Structure 1
Amino acid sequence: MRVHVTDLKPGDTLSSDTFNSFGIHIMQKGHTLHSSDISKLLQLGVDYVTIENAPVVATVTVTPHTLEQAKVQFDTALEGFETLFLSAAARGEFDGSQVDDMLEPLMEELHTQKDVVSVLFVLNDTNNYTYTHSLQVGMLSYYLAVWLGYTEQEAYLAGRAGYLHDVGKAQVPSDILNKPGKLTADEFEWMKKHTIFGHDLIMKSTGDELSALVALQHHERADGKGYPNQLKLDDIHPYSRIVAVADIYSAMTTNRVYQSKQELLKVLKELHRMSFGQLHPESTQTFIRHMLPNMIGKHVKLNSGETGKIIMTNPSDYFRPLIETNQGFKDLAIETELEIEDIFL
């Protein structure tokens, strides 16, 4: 049976030889996979393999939608969050009964979409950062929970918490929320209150204690230097740790009124640095490990003016990959003067 690499489990056995996109032999028929083998397949950009003894499912096969088809579902969830946010701003509460109605179809769609980076590119095609960011964080939180081994229902709860994590910004004055320049100290203190506002809004509107707790805690940091309560790692809820990683990645890779988006691999490198003291190490490094293979096949613009495509992550430096351009292959781990300026579909 042909399966996507992200659906493999330790103990699965290959039913045919496996090759990468260059035709290089990676693993032989009959090889029983371990966790390290699955990671290797991901790192080498292998998308699908065939395995033995896969269970036969007597249901209709679900064919993944194209990104354009999936975008209809994304747009619906985006419009739903806008309605929710504006209601929270105007009335101090929102219709909590609508949250699951918006999210359940979205999460079902995400289950079929394996290329997370491409999904995020589609979602970046909007001018409203607050709404797009909340949707992205919900989606990334769902994916990260799945990658960490949570059940589908647990991952859904993480995604819902991520979707609602910033709803408290609805009660931050708009001149602070949309200020194009750096916030003053007083303005930043106001902005930090969105975590408390979010907790109270969610409790009032839905009674969802878990999502409310994540809204309160998603800016807490492992070293105790976060807000609002300066919690340390062991005191931060696991879902809050997940949403924190998703929140930072989305924020840094999206254009905002006061800051341009940053190059994707540089953001992953920054998250790697933050995993040593600021963010939960396992959550952060699991996120990086699963996002890196999604970069393979994406187009890039280099600081030399050349354009090309990411061919392989570099085992000596995951954040400086091998690039194929019209002028030949560029190994960024060796050609250190070259930098990726942008990554795109």
Structure 2
Amino acid sequence: MRVKVSELIEGCILQKDVTGMTVYPLVPKKTVLNPIHLDVLKRFSIDSVEVERTLVDGTLFKPQTTAEDASEQKIEEIPLSFTESYLKAIREFKQEFTKWQSGGAIDFMKVRSIIMPLLKKVIETPENLHTIRHYSNPKDYLYHHSVAVGIISGMLAKKLGYDVGIYNQAALGGMLSDCGMARIRASILEKKSLSQWEFQEIREHTLNSYKMVKDTSLLKPEIKLAIYQHHERLDGTGYPGGEKAEKIHMMSRIIAVADVYHAMTSERAYRSKQSPFKVLEMIMEDSFGQFDISVVKALFSLIGDLSIGTKVRLSNGEEASVIFTKREALTRPLVKLEKSEEIIDLVQNRNIFIEDVI
């Protein structure tokens, strides 16, 4: 909806780029507005902007007036967008996680009701995978991470050819892989840097998670194992058991890739979010031997395989269109700059990479 800048508050999410006098957006779409953004919009005399109806915390944004002067009743009758559905799921998952922190048991049917509609939406429109990383923030990272890992795990399992029953289970397993964090002291979860002993306590979340799910009949045994093993690495460098390839289940390998991908592309307390395309290259090159290559290739296909004509923003700020992709270099297609129409081969120009899909 279009809202007057004077009505905006911190946590609003832009639906469209806000443009200024240059070729670059003043504030790009998908940005979660903070006080600095609000000040910039006012200083540049921007009258109104397009924002989501939902704030980043999942609550409905209710400005006193909108540019269209739409009634609240009409707004609520419009079906939820993917972003709104996603943020609603984050709010619901946070409520469940808080119950677990107080010693409550997992309501598996409730968890299923949170993740399944989102997975269905992403299956219908895979491009939604590119949006979820924008809404994570350091304060609520754990909740965003759990929901996102569930979605990505389900999509990876589907991409690898598993049937609906299995990829739905993979989504549930991914979402619950960090449920054991609810048994870690809250003071540790909130810290930016950890001592050796605190880091060891964090590592215990895999065992905690397994204990929380082991007695349910709603998860398959291999999914329970995957929840326990999702930090294992094929070369034996992972935890909790330092297991190697032959002892790490395929479901564990799927959730492991989903987990590290979302962690690296999200804003953290100690690091800004990174480009999905740069992260894909890092997983393939820097972490070679740690992850199952078939799962990594499935992730490349889900995230990096852009169709001809896809609009992207490059790391140098330029906007471009994909004009040709190479199977052996999906993250570095041939692109044409929007303004100059110059054609750039990102394989030959390694200093430039795709920052985001727009």
- Please give the TM-score of this superposition, normalised by the length of structure 1: 0.72
Q: Per the alignment, do residues 339 and 146 of structure 1 end up closer, same or farther by CA in structure 2, a change over 3 Å counting?
A: same
By how many angstroms is 1:214 displaced? 1.8
Aligned residue runs from structure 1 range 217-228, under 5 A = 217-228=229-240
1:124 aligns with 2:134: yes
Give the equivalent residue in structure 2 for 1:302. Answer: 315
- Please give the alpha-carbon distance, in whole angstroms, between the structure 1 residues aligned to 2:216 and 2:88: 21
Q: Is the Cα contact below 8 Å between 2:233 and 2:291 reproduced in 1?
A: yes
Q: Is the Cα contact below 8 Å between 2:129 and 2:303 reproduced in 1?
A: no
By how many angstroms is 1:176 displaced? 2.1
Q: Is the Cα contact below 8 Å between 1:222 and 1:279 reproduced in 2?
A: yes
By how many angstroms is 1:132 displaced? 0.9
Give the equivalent residue in structure 1 for 2:249. Answer: 237
Q: For residue 98 of structure 1, what is the amino acid of its counterpart?
A: K
Q: Is the Cα contact below 8 Å between 1:88 and 1:201 reproduced in 2?
A: no
* Percentage of identical aligned residues: 31
Q: Once the two structures are superposed, what CA deviation does each residue of 1:125-145 show, in whole Å capped at 9, x if it has no partner?
A: 243211111111111111111
Q: Is the Cα contact below 8 Å between 1:245 and 1:284 reproduced in 2?
A: yes
By how many angstroms is 1:240 displaced? 0.8
Give the equivalent residue in structure 1 for 2:270. Answer: 258
Q: Is the Cα contact below 8 Å between 1:168 and 1:197 reproduced in 2?
A: yes
1:195 to 187, 206, 209: 206
By how many angstroms is 1:109 displaced? 2.5
Q: Once the two structures are superposed, what CA deviation does each residue of 1:261-289 show, in whole Å capped at 9, x if it has no partner?
A: 11111111122126741111211122213
- Please give the alpha-carbon distance, in whole angstroms, between the structure 1 residues aligned to 2:250 and 2:152: 15
1:75 to 79, 87, 94: 87
Give the equivalent residue in structure 2 for 1:178. Answer: 190
- Comparing 323-332 with 72-81, greater Cα deviation is found at 72-81
Q: Per the alignment, do residues 320 and 198 of structure 1 end up closer, same or farther by CA in structure 2, a change over 3 Å counting?
A: same
Give the equivalent residue in structure 2 for 1:333. Answer: 347
* Count of aligned pairs between the two proteins: 275
Q: For residue 260 of structure 2, what is the amino acid of its counterpart?
A: I
Q: Once the two structures are superposed, what CA deviation does each residue of 1:9-48 show, in whole Å capped at 9, x if it has no partner?
A: xxxxxxxxxxxxxxxxxxxxxxxxxxxxxxxxxxxxxxxx
1:138 aligns with 2:150: yes
Superposition RMSD in Å: 2.6
Q: Is the Cα contact below 8 Å between 1:275 and 1:284 reproduced in 2?
A: no
Q: For residue 312 of structure 2, what is the amino acid of its counterpart?
A: H
Give the equivalent residue in structure 2 for 1:6. Answer: none
Give the equivalent residue in structure 2 for 1:342. Answer: 355
Q: Is the Cα contact below 8 Å between 2:206 and 2:240 reproduced in 1?
A: yes
Q: Per the alignment, do residues 168 and 312 of structure 1 end up closer, same or farther by CA in structure 2, a change over 3 Å counting?
A: farther
Q: Per the alignment, do residues 233 and 135 of structure 1 end up closer, same or farther by CA in structure 2, a change over 3 Å counting?
A: same
Q: Per the alignment, do residues 67 and 237 of structure 1 end up closer, same or farther by CA in structure 2, a change over 3 Å counting?
A: farther
Give the equivalent residue in structure 2 for 1:289. Answer: 301
Q: For residue 348 of structure 2, what is the amino acid of its counterpart?
A: I
By how many angstroms is 1:291 displaced? 2.2
Give the 3-state SS of the residue equivalent to 2:349 in structure 1. Answer: coil
Q: Is the Cα contact below 8 Å between 2:277 and 2:331 reproduced in 1?
A: yes
Q: Once the two structures are superposed, what CA deviation does each residue of 1:160-187 show, in whole Å capped at 9, x if it has no partner?
A: 1011111111122223222223x22222
Q: Per the alignment, do residues 83 and 295 of structure 1 end up closer, same or farther by CA in structure 2, a change over 3 Å counting?
A: farther
Q: Per the alignment, do residues 95 and 302 of structure 1 end up closer, same or farther by CA in structure 2, a change over 3 Å counting?
A: closer
- Please give the alpha-carbon distance, in whole angstroms, between the structure 1 residues aligned to 2:79 and 2:272: 25
By how many angstroms is 1:197 displaced? 0.9
Q: For residue 329 of structure 1, what is the amino acid of its counterpart?
A: I
Aligned residue runs from structure 1 range 312-327, under 5 A = 312-314=324-326, 317-325=329-337, 326-327=339-340
